[in-house]
Chains A and B, each alone.
Chain A
Amino acid sequence: MRHTKVGLVCSRVRVEEKMLIDAFASRPGVEVVRVDDDLLDAPLSGAAAPHGAAAQLKGCDVVLLRALGHFRQVALAQLVESWSLPVVNASHVIETCGDKVRTTLALTAAGVPSPSSRLAFTQEAALEAVEELGYPCVIKPPVGSWGRLVARVNDRDAAEAVLEHKDLLGGPLHRVIYLQAHVDKPGRDLRAFVLDGHTVAAIGRRSDHWVTNTARGARAEAVAVTPELADLCRAAASAVGGGALAIDLLEGGDGLLVNEVNATMEFRNSVEPTGVDIPGLLVEHTLRLLASST
């Protein structure tokens, strides 16, 4: 039997990474090489050969990236691709999904419905955009996750305050202002787990708070993968470049809307309610990518 080395790059060994390590370990002939991105020092140019963690990673057959930071994930994927190794996910997919401006543009170009949104760079222009979107609306950082710094603004006073704070306290990323119409969802949003375009599981994330993120305390409940959901997720996955994705959707009055697409899925709260072995399927996806690339 062929021996396969899977590089698992992770900043922390969280519940998800433990589940993945166990799932890989249960596959015969598969060895997991865990690489801590904090320790990585990889040559980009020059004659030096990779050493340490970089050499370990380069010696793998396929790589699954689980670093915590978006910009690290992009750089890691580009590094691995420069070695001609298959990687989950591809750098262009991570770049698209990690930036809400890029995600929305990709979805729109593909005709995938998403909430109305605007892009502005100054307080003045953003205020005009807010007024046109109407209240309440949502202001999000273009890069960020777990519901951090996502603000629902209910009136002009709140909009002015948030925009002034972003301008004076935020860094360059906060001067790229992503604004979104607020969708009056029924106490939950939907999260679909999509591998190679196939929706393998879906949950509802229910919360009394308007931010329905399980990292912020929302409760996960299983929901059926309807043909409408599966078709929309297939289209959304294709729009951002495919791979292993967690797609967030809102149940709007006129049907489902794709809100965000995540390229480094978290699933600790979704395995139990759905009964679906999501880490096992992600492992299969990774091994399938290797098989298709050789």
Chain B
Amino acid sequence: MRSFAMTTDASTTSAECPECSARLPVPAGTVKGEILPCGECLAELEVTGLEPLTLALAPEVEEDWGE
């Protein structure tokens, strides 16, 4: 998984997409490991931590992805 996890304030109900920097809402009751879609760039994001809230790109990178 690409290491773009972003740490946000645990008290916020939104977080920054590590892909496009857009703010996305994080619903109450979100659990670690949940996949959240970014409404702006459509990236699938995995909640990797709750306190503090952290997001990372979901582990779906294909073998030949990259530069």
Contacts of A216 in B (CB 8 A): 3
Q: Which interface class (under 10, 10 to 19, 20 to 34, 35 or more) fits A?
A: 20 to 34
Q: How far is the CB of A94 from chain B (nearest CB, A)?
A: 11
CB-based A-B contact count at 8 angstroms: 63
Residue interface bits A227-267, CB-to-B below 8 A is 1, else 0: 00000000000000000001000000000000000111110
Given A246-B67, A262-B67, A265-B67: A68 and B20 within 8 A (CB)? no
User: In the complex, what distance in Å separates the CA atom of A51 from the CA atom of B21?
Assistant: 33
A12 at the interface (CB under 8 A from B): yes
CB distance from B65 to the nearest CB of A (A): 5
Question: Which positions in A face B, CB cutoff 8 Å?
Answer: 12-15, 18, 68-72, 98, 141, 143-146, 148, 171, 173, 215-217, 246, 262-266
Known: A13-B20, A18-B20, A216-B3. A173 touches B65 (CB 8 A): no
Within 8 A of A (CB), among B1-49: 2-4, 19-21, 40-43
Complex CA distance for A146 and B4, rounded to whole angstroms = 12
Contact of A148 among B4, B40, B41, B66 (CB under 8 A): B66
Given the interface contacts A13-B41, A14-B41, A217-B3, does A145 sit within 8 Å of B66 by beta carbon?
Answer: yes
Q: B21 contacts which chain A residues (CB < 8 A)? A: 15
**Bound Cα distance from A145 to B65, whole angstroms:** 6
Q: Which of B40, B42, B66 makes the CB contact (< 8 A) with A146? A: B66
Distance A70 CA – B62 CA, assembled complex (angstroms): 10
Asked whether, in the complex, the Cβ of A68 is within 8 Å of the Cβ of B65, the reply is yes
Would you call A68 and B66 a contact (CB within 8 A)?
yes
Check if A173 sits within 8 Å of B62, measured CB to CB: no
Beyond A12-B42, A72-B64, list 10 extra A-B contacts (CB 8 Å).
A14-B19, A15-B20, A68-B66, A146-B2, A148-B66, A171-B63, A215-B2, A215-B3, A263-B67, A265-B67
